[in-house]
């Protein structure tokens, strides 16, 4: 069974590239275009991992992470952040983010990190 990944990004090009790149690597991909919808998808789709943009409308990535940590059963769901800001590494570490990538992301690097987070190398 394929792992399910939720991709939350409001940039259509970035969302499409990540979605199709992950689908090509046999992941089941669910998408959301803002933080509110992303949290709804967490509840309804129960993803194994989340790829999250920080600059989102309605509920930004930081707010999304705060709400995710409060959701029973999802406190330890791995989150990989996509950002346009290269200087945010320390903030992400404090938030419990597994990894972050500056856009545009290299899909092969992202897939390798997902494999590592989901323990698929074992």
Domains of the chain: 4-118 (3.40.50.2300)
Q: Confidence class of residue 86 from pLDDT cuts 50, 70 and 90?
A: low
* pLDDT band for position 6 (cuts 50, 70, 90): very high
- The pLDDT tens digits for 20-75 are 999 999 999 999 999 999 999 999 999 999 999 988 898 988 899 889 989 999 98
Burial group, residue 24, by CB count within 10 angstroms (0-12, 13-18, 19+): exposed
The structure's pTM equals: 0.89
- Number of other residues whose CB lies within 10 A of the CB of residue 50: 24
Token pair, residue 105, equals 């992301």
Q: Which residue has the higher pLDDT, 100 or 119?
A: 119
């Amino acid at each position: 069974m394929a792992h399910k990944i939720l991709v939350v990004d409001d940039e259509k090009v970035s969302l499409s590239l990540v979605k199709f790149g992950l689908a090509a690597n046999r992941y089941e991909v669910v998408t959301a275009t803002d933080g509110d919808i992303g949290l709804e998808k967490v509840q309804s789709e129960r993803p194994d991992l989340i790829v999250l943009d920080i600059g989102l409308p309605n509920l930004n990535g930081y707010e999304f992470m705060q709400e995710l940590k409060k959701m029973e059963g999802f406190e330890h769901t791995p989150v990989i952040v996509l950002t346009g800001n290269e200087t945010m590494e320390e903030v992400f570490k404090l938030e419990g983010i597994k990894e972050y990538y500056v856009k545009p992301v290299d899909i092969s690097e992202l897939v390798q990190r997902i494999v590592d987070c989901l323990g698929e190398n074992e």
